[in-house]
Amino acid sequence: KAGVTQTPRYLIKTRGQQVTLSCSPISGHRSVSWYQQTPGQGLQFLFEYFSETQRNKGNFPGRFSGRQFSNSRSEMNVSTLELGDSALYLCASSLDSPVYQPQHFGDGTRLSIL
Amino acid sequence: QQQVKQSPQSLIVQKGGISIINCAYENTAFDYFPWYQQFPGKGPALLIAIRPDVSEKKEGRFTISFNKSAKQFSLHIMDSQPGDSATYFCAASYLGGADGLTFGKGTHLIIQP
């Protein structure tokens, strides 16, 4: 069974631009969560989608948004990029609720802002 | 506000020794406590998880000990091997929580051969 796939693996952008990251969950998984990982703040929850609906949202500004498609694939978008947005963005999928079921992480998209 | 505090930040253990990583939480609503292992260039991978209705769970060389009254839980890696060298994260969550998994800051573990 294929794991969680995130594309692209690496991305370089400049301040003020916007970016879209993609995540394909494990087949059959309907919940997709996004996390930001930085050396200083560690792993922080961005949002979770289930059946094309955002179920939960972390404490991030509105510049961070996401969506989920009918095939459970998900995208996250960051607008008006800031230097502090440089991070590893991780996507995780689970069968249903991510609370009690294992979350399977992809290898992330490394975003660098110049 | 850091709701899950993890220690130590880094740990060096000799091959064959026991690695111990500790976590403490504040939110008494948490009722699911997983541990993740992350290698460089890879995403975190679930190692083992525990619910508060048990005080200990063992899977192979990995054991979680849970102390509900102290709001603490720990990961023990028995017979530590060089291949266990990685960053380990504890996490916590609860049904109805809006924050997904709340992670500790991580422990960088090095097993010396």
DSSP secondary structure letters along A60-95 = --TTEEEEE-TTS-EEEEE-S--GGG-EEEEEEEES
Q: In this complex, how many residue pairs, one in chain A and one in chain B, have their CB atoms less than 8 Å apart?
A: 63
Q: Nearest by CB to B99, from A4, A45, A105: name it.
A: A45
Of all residues in chain A, what percent are helix, strand and coil, respectively (each to 5)?
5, 55, 45
| pLDDT over threshold 60, residue B46 | yes
Confidence of residue A108 (pLDDT cuts 50, 70, 90): very high
Considering only CA atoms, which of A47, A10, A49, A13 is closest in space to residue A30? A49
User: How many Å apart are CA A49 and CA B107, to the nearest integer?
Assistant: 29
Q: Is B97 on the interface with A (CB under 8 A)?
A: yes
Interchain contact, B100 vs A100, CB within 8 Å: no
Cβ under 8 Å to B: A residues 55-94: 56-59, 90, 92
Region of A41 (left: φ > 0; alpha: ψ -120 to 50; beta: rest) is alpha
Q: Is A12 on the interface with B (CB under 8 A)?
A: no
Interchain contact, A42 vs B95, CB within 8 Å: no
Interchain contact, B46 vs A56, CB within 8 Å: no
What pLDDT does residue A102 have?
Answer: 86
| pLDDT over threshold 70, residue A25 | yes
Cα of B100 to nearest chain A Cα, Å: 6
What pLDDT does residue A2 have?
Answer: 82
Interchain contact, A106 vs B104, CB within 8 Å: no
> In A, which residues are within 8 Å of B36 by CB distance?
105
Interchain contact, B105 vs A97, CB within 8 Å: no
Mean pLDDT for the stretch of residues A52-71:
95
Confidence of residue A30 (pLDDT cuts 50, 70, 90): very high
Residues 6+ away with beta carbon under 8 Å from A99:
B32, B93, B94, B95, B97
Mean pLDDT for the stretch of residues B91-102:
83
| pLDDT over threshold 80, residue A97 | no
Mean pLDDT for the stretch of residues A54-71:
95
Q: Is A4 on the interface with B (CB under 8 A)?
A: yes
Residues 6+ away with beta carbon under 8 Å from B79:
B16, B18, B61
Q: Is B40 on the interface with A (CB under 8 A)?
A: no
> In A, which residues are within 8 Å of B45 by CB distance?
104-105
Residues 6+ away with beta carbon under 8 Å from B15:
B80, B81, B82, B111, B112, B113
β B86-92/B102-103 pair status: antiparallel
What pLDDT does residue B2 have?
Answer: 58
